[in-house]
A and B are shown apart, each in its own frame.
Chain A
């Protein structure tokens, strides 16, 4: 999957706990995107980040969800006080520019299960 590394691959949390999902983009890529795939649903855009900037978070729930892409280190998707409806596969993708035509590389995903 072209070098996008996500961890953990699987995460189990109880309701009310916090989930932190990490994404290291392809080396040299400065544009990161998070998508969520609910069971039997298509992937849905959540947020687009560049280093130290949130460009578009229109697909992310207003409460409990946050994302960051610091100057150093991986991008983090944080979900506070998780609920069962947060159970899904969360995919990170990166691109070398803000253009996604033929340049979007996805990681293998982090699968969150909320008990």
Chain B
């Protein structure tokens, strides 16, 4: 069974601070996706990383896929209250059933004004 561990589980910071959240596994994934989920809503896809070592930027968000495609990080620069939410990583299995995403439990981020 492939597992994704996200850390930290909770993070509360002040507006303007930088932060990094992590997504780790002992398994290799063919791709990894990051989602943001707000209370009472469904996950919204932020980015997909496919190549080991890949770095993608989305405004103040920087996503990195580990060289071995087992881990990923999300770095937010100058966090804003609008960044508050549950950040989920999800791995696409490298086997035949690639539609079965494996989700981590998420990092709940609170950005205080």
Contact = CB atoms under 8 A, between A and B. Distances in A.
Interface stretch (A11-19, A66-74, A79-87, A93-101): A93-101
Interface residues of B, number: 26
Interface in B9-49: 30-31, 33, 35, 40-45, 48
B105 interface: yes
> What is the size category of the interface that chain A forms with chain B?
20 to 34
Nearest to B38: A108
A111 B41 CA distance: 10
A42 B103 contact: yes
Nearest to A42: B103
Interface in B75-107: 88, 90, 92, 97-106
A108 B40 contact: yes
Nearest to B35: A106
Scoring A31, A42, A107, A109 by chain B CB atoms within 10 A of each residue's CB, the highest score goes to: A42
Contacts of A56: 97, 99-100
A91 to B, nearest CB: 5
A44 B90 CA distance: 10
A69 to B, nearest CB: 14
A63 interface: no
Contact of B100 (A1, A31, A45, A91): A45
A91 B43 contact: yes
Given A33-B99, A42-B105, A59-B100, A100 B42 contact: no
Given A40-B105, A42-B106, A45-B101, A101 B42 contact: no
The 3 closest A-B pairs by CB, nearest first: A106-B42, A42-B103, A102-B48
